[in-house]
């Protein structure tokens, strides 16, 4: 009689939440995050870039349902002038040939007020933020050091915010090299990645007005396209990659900070529906992320 083969125990998956950039559309990630937590998902670590770095850094300090609810409260109280104060000072800065449009001191004050830790390595949940070397375009992964500086570096949209010096490098927005850093999560040991994308405003009737608004809209289109490319790159590998569908149709500019409550509520509802339909069991790229217009 043949002996039964021994059962091989598989190690549990090491799950990373990857949070993409997208300006004010970062509010969408809060609703997605709340739904995933309510479903019972708990990441081993977080990876974020640009607006996703802000969400990842805050949630890493309090990775609980209460933390996700507080993140919603922060987003709903946020004003564009808190984050992107474009005013006469900005105009005078341009006239003096300053290399950026907006002072990042407002965003720094917000981060210093709300982040419950000072150094990335002190977060309750490991968090890794992606920035870009301004000189050579190399991806820079920030896992230790001053938390506020790391977030500012990851969110420093070139030409909009000033670069941030960390060590010997001047760093700018992680979106320049890797705005949806799936590859960074894999290098950090993730065997299962859940991507929280912001998507893009597919239902705008006309291009946003103003230089910053147009730049941010263009960047959100680039982020979505890069995510599709990265997802196709990892298709067929051992990585369990799941992408939460972004909102569609969406008519909110990534420069519009007045719709946070609506975006969060809608994202939470839509993500719950996706989960109930077995979304976490299905690989593939949500059609909402591919090029289209509603």
Active-site residue, selected from the candidate residues 103, 149, 173, 230: 173
Beta bridge partners of 16: 45, 193
Element (H, E) at 128: strand 127-133
Residue 173 known to be catalytic: yes
Nearest to 29 by CA among 203, 198, 160, 152: 198
Among 196, 210, 290, residue whose Cα is nearest residue 253: 210
Catalytic pick from 24, 50, 90, 220?
A: 50
Beta bridge partners of 45: 16
Task: Return left, alpha or beta for 199; rule: phi > 0 is left, psi -120 to 50 is alpha, else beta.
Answer: left
Evaluate whether 8 touches 39 at the Cβ level (below 8 Å).
Answer: no
Judged by DSSP in three states, 84 sits in coil
Q: Helix (H, G, I), strand (E, B), or coil: what is residue 100? A: coil
Give the C-alpha distances (Å, rounded to integers) separating 33 from 176, 188, 259. 24, 21, 17
Q: Which residues contact 6 (CB under 8 A, 6 or more apart)?
A: none
3-class DSSP state of 160 = coil
User: Is 50 one of the catalytic residues?
Assistant: yes
SS3 content of the chain, % helix, strand, coil (to 5): 45, 15, 40
Catalytic residue positions, numbered: 50, 173
């Amino acid at each position: 009689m043949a002996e039964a083969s021994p059962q091989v125990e598989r190690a549990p998956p090491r799950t990373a939440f990857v949070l993409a950039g997208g300006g004010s559309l970062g509010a969408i990630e809060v609703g997605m995050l709340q739904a995933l937590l309510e479903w019972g998902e708990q990441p081993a670590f977080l990876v974020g870039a640009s607006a996703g770095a802000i969400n990842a850094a805050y949630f890493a300090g309090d990775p609980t349902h209460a933390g996700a609810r507080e993140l919603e409260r922060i987003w709903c109280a946020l004003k564009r002038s808190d984050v992107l104060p474009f005013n006469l000072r900005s105009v005078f800065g341009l006239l003096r040939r300053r290399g950026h449009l907006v002072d990042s001191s407002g965003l720094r004050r917000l981060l210093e007020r709300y982040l419950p830790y000072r150094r990335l390595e002190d977060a309750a949940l490991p968090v890794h933020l992606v920035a870009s070397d301004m000189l050579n375009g190399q991806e820079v992964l920030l896992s230790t050091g001053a938390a506020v500086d790391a977030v500012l570096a990851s969110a420093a949209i070139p030409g909009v915010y000033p670069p941030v010096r960390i060590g010997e490098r001047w760093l700018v927005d992680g979106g320049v090299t890797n705005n949806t850093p799936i590859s960074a999560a894999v290098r950090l040991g993730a065997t299962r990645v859940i991507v929280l994308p912001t998507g893009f405003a597919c239902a705008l009737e006309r291009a946003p007005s103003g230089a910053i608004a147009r730049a941010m809209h263009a960047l959100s289109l680039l982020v979505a396209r890069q995510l599709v490319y990265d997802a196709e790159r990892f298709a067929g590998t051992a990585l369990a990659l799941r992408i939460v569908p972004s909102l569609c149709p969406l008519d909110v500019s990534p420069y519009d900070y007045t719709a946070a409550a609506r975006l969060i509520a809608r994202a939470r509802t839509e993500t719950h529906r996706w989960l109930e339909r077995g979304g976490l069991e299905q690989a593939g790229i949500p059609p909402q992320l591919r090029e289209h217009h509603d």
